[in-house]
């Protein structure tokens, strides 16, 4: 690691070496690595073992935390290791060529950045945002009784709220003056999280595998096994008892409630959102005609197709597989978890939430 520490980096804009360790996706970090003349083959040298191990840790963190988040501890890893291990992790995730690992990893890195940005001063937040071309400025203005830290061009705002479902984020519910949306620091950090996640996902390219040395591929196989164990769908706690509970709408977890309300009002729901809602409702025993009716307001509703899809998910068509809704971490990865409540923190699957919540509601009802 000697060679790294002797290379001094001038301050670029306002971002320092420690900023690059925190935000290793910024162009200055890539430039820093380029100047070190680091190559992927270097990872096979003993000196570079900590970088490979930190890169693997980044990925394992992403797959084992809920919600996914890569840890950050400047006392544990030096700045060089933090900076270089990020593109190494991108290469490893690319070579793993697994869509779920890719999305989870990108989300986990983006969440790490979100947590760090929330604690930064406004100058630093602006510097990071500008690396993505955002037209943003410090506002420090009061509108009514609320103080806003930043003003962001509304196009940059809209680009980053497309996957948000909460009403709060709709442009009509935000103060907009002369094409700028007024925001708190926390809001800006949250929007940057979206930008960073998309950026990282775009960097992950499965073609990279073909250029990796044999030794790295062996490492990768070990990592693949660890990943396979971590992402294997864990069985939901005793769902066989679901049928005896019946449909208790009040026991739906927040994610399902949100999807249900979107379907009721005819709002667009992504493919995975529809699959989640339908498979959940089938599992809790809702009548299939009622599920068909639920989707009636959707702009592209087609009764025959909707019925076919419901029957397919129920295992009455095709291969006969009865599908189960995705686990919480998958829903979080796809932006379908509106935020965990107290009960969510004790479970890992929306059906487990339902089971516990429905049982406790029934107990309360019986007195």
Interface residue list for ligand SF4 (CB under 6 A):
253-255, 328, 331, 337-338, 340, 344, 350, 353
**Which of residues 29 and 344 has its CB atom nearest to ligand SF4 in the complex?**
344
Q: How far is the CB of 232 from ligand SF4 (least distance, A)?
A: 18
CA gap 329, 234 in Å, rounded: 11
End-to-end Cα spacing for the chain: 66
Among residues 243, 237, 235, 246, the alpha carbon closest in space to that of 361 is found at: 246
**Which of residues 18 and 264 has its CB atom nearest to ligand SF4 in the complex?**
264
CA gap 63, 52 in Å, rounded: 17
CA gap 186, 19 in Å, rounded: 18
Q: How far is the CB of 77 from ligand SF4 (least distance, A)?
A: 30
Q: How far is the CB of 166 from ligand SF4 (least distance, A)?
A: 13
CA gap 133, 156 in Å, rounded: 9
**Which of residues 264 and 289 has its CB atom nearest to ligand SF4 in the complex?**
264
Q: Is the separation of the CB atoms in 76 and 117 below 8 Å?
A: no
**Which of residues 94 and 193 has its CB atom nearest to ligand SF4 in the complex?**
193
Unique residue bearing structure tokens 């989707």? 295
Q: How far is the CB of 257 from ligand SF4 (least distance, A)?
A: 8
Q: How far is the CB of 353 from ligand SF4 (least distance, A)?
A: 4
Q: How far is the CB of 345 from ligand SF4 (least distance, A)?
A: 8
Among residues 347, 341, 354, the alpha carbon closest in space to that of 328 is found at: 347
Contacts of 145 (CB under 8 A, 6+ apart): none
Mark out the alpha helices in 149-270 (DSSP H runs). Answer: 154-161, 185-203, 214-231, 242-245, 254-264
**Which of residues 26 and 331 has its CB atom nearest to ligand SF4 in the complex?**
331
**Which of residues 189 and 259 has its CB atom nearest to ligand SF4 in the complex?**
259
**Which of residues 140 and 264 has its CB atom nearest to ligand SF4 in the complex?**
264
Q: How far is the CB of 103 from ligand SF4 (least distance, A)?
A: 15
């Amino acid at each position: 690691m000697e060679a790294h520490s002797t290379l001094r980096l001038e301050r670029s804009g306002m971002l320092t070496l420690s900023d690059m360790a925190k935000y290793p996706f910024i162009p200055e970090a890539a430039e820093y690595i380029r100047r070190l003349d680091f190559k992927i083959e270097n990872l096979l040298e003993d000196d570079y073992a900590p970088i490979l191990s930190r890169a693997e840790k980044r990925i394992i963190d992403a797959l084992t935390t809920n919600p996914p988040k890569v840890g950050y501890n400047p006392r544990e890893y030096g700045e060089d290791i933090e900076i270089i291990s990020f593109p190494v992790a991108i290469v490893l995730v690319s070579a793993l060529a697994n869509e779920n690992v890719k999305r989870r990893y990108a989300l986990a890195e983006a969440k790490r950045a979100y947590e760090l940005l929330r604690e930064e001063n406004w100058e630093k937040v602006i510097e990071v945002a500008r690396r993505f071309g955002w037209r943003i400025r410090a506002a420090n203005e009061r509108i009514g009784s609320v103080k806003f830290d930043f003003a962001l061009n509304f196009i940059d705002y809209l680009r980053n709220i497309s996957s948000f479902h909460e009403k709060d984020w709709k442009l009509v519910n935000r103060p907009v003056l002369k094409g700028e949306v007024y925001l708190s620091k926390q809001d800006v950090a949250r929007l940057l999280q979206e930008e960073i996640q998309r950026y990282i996902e775009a960097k992950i390219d499965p073609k990279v595998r073909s250029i990796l040395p044999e030794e790295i591929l062996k490492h990768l196989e070990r990592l693949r096994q660890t990943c396979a164990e971590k992402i294997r769908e864990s069985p939901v706690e005793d769902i066989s008892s679901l049928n005896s509970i019946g449909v208790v709408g009040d026991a739906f977890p927040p994610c399902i409630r949100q999807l249900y309300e979107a379907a009721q009002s005819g709002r667009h729901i992504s493919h995975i959102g529809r699959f989640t809602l339908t498979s959940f409702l089938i599992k809790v025993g809702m009548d299939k005609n009622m599920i068909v009716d639920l989707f009636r307001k959707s702009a592209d509703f087609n009764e025959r197709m909707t019925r076919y899809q419901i029957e397919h998910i129920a295992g009455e068509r095709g291969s006969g597989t009865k599908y189960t809704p995705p686990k919480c971490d998958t829903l979080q990865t796809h932006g379908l978890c509106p935020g965990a409540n107290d009960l969510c923190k004790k479970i890992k699957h929306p059906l487990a939430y339902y089971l516990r919540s429905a049982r406790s509601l029934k107990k309360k009802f019986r007195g």
